[in-house]
Structure 1
């Protein structure tokens, strides 16, 4: 890995830029986003305000099957890598990644929407600062029976240590639940497991985390 120090900024030779600022450390994949937009011919597209339509109705049967699914698969793969620093597109990328085996025109339109959103904010990233504590916190939610194809729910969560983001996930639940309460409890159980793992890891590193 090539690392170049310019004043208080660290620029890596890979796809992630690390900047040391007065407020903390900022991680960004701006160059990666711009290169992606240029390669797929979306550099001049009109920016979108959100990465996915509200109350979208994507399904495995809507639209015509794409003649070359490889293009779609490569795009989704690159967007999945971008989720390393872009929490804001995690849900949208999780949705489009469900259709990589038989992508259709409606799915490609959803991918283009994500790209248009990235056009409007290529430099977004994550800032890690000293907040004066090591509290372990987590937030979770669930989209009950949101999938048109199988009526499964999608869980989402993110966890913080010391006020800084350390992990996040958006994933469809493995079973069909019969109530929104059950869907929420399943989402919470996964997040509790993540919190326990985080606390154990910190303990092994000799760091005493505050009570959640």
Structure 2
């Protein structure tokens, strides 16, 4: 171990579990997941017996802040959303849906809560799945981007998303509302492509 000559450290062996993230190795590569975390979350929210859904959010769903008389328990909603936010470390497929519901932390309504429970129903169907980091024999960097123009009902801001691969393995993913209002779908696409290129350049420097 490189640090051993300088620091008093203990070799705990092969990494298997760290910060609710599970690691396992095989001849194919390294598997990363948060299955126990998902299972515990389903138990905490009473969703173990729920029906599975194939997608974490409905297509083209647009939500808006609740009216004062429609606001539900804000603290409970924030705790409920906080758990899936942490799951985005290994579950890239819920990143977009989680970024949408996270925008209503301070004024949630029942529809927002229903979307979070839909994410949980989707997660139940993903138990047993994980990320695989495999040696494909090359280290080429790739990035894929997408955007949804004027998705927000509140301020017509668009939502961007991108993911990057190194050597065929998914290493970063991101979904977020853009900072400004775009005047066209082309402008939205240019912005997200610029973010994607910037991310690839940062990955190359690592």
What TM-score do the two structures reach when normalised by structure 2?
0.90
* Partner residue, 1:19: 24
What is the correspondence of 1:52-131 to structure 2 with a 5 Å cutoff? Answer: 52-61=57-66, 64-66=70-72, 68-131=73-136
Q: 1:13 to 1:131 in 2, by over 3 A?
A: closer
Check conservation: 1:157, 1:191, Cα contact below 8 A: yes
1:200 deviates by 1.3
- Take 1:122 and 1:82, find their aligned partners in 2: how far apart are those partners? 12
Give the superposed CA RMSD: 1.7
Q: 2:42 is matched with which residue? A: 37
Count of residue pairs brought into register by the alignment: 195
Name 1:192's counterpart in structure 2: 197
Q: CA deviation at 1:11?
A: 3.1
| Cα distance change of structure 1 residues 103 and 162 upon mapping to structure 2, 3 Å threshold | same
The structural deviation recorded for 1:146 is 1.0
> How much has 1:28 moved relative to structure 2?
0.6
Structure 2 CA distance, aligned partners of 1:200 and 1:56? 38
C-alpha separation in 2, matches of 1:72 and 1:61: 13
Paired residue secondary structure (2:163): strand
Structure 2 spans left out of the alignment, 5+ residues:
1-10
1:83–1:42 Cα change, 3 Å: same
Summarize deviations over 1:20-73 as a string: whole Å, max 9, x none: 02211010100000000001111111111110011112111479210x211110
Taking the aligned partners of 1:64 and 1:119, their CA distance within structure 2 comes to 29
Aligned-pair CA distance for 1:169: 0.4
Structure 1 residues 13 and 134: alpha-carbon distance in aligned structure 2, compared to 1, 3 A threshold: closer
**Secondary structure in 1 matching 2:161:** strand
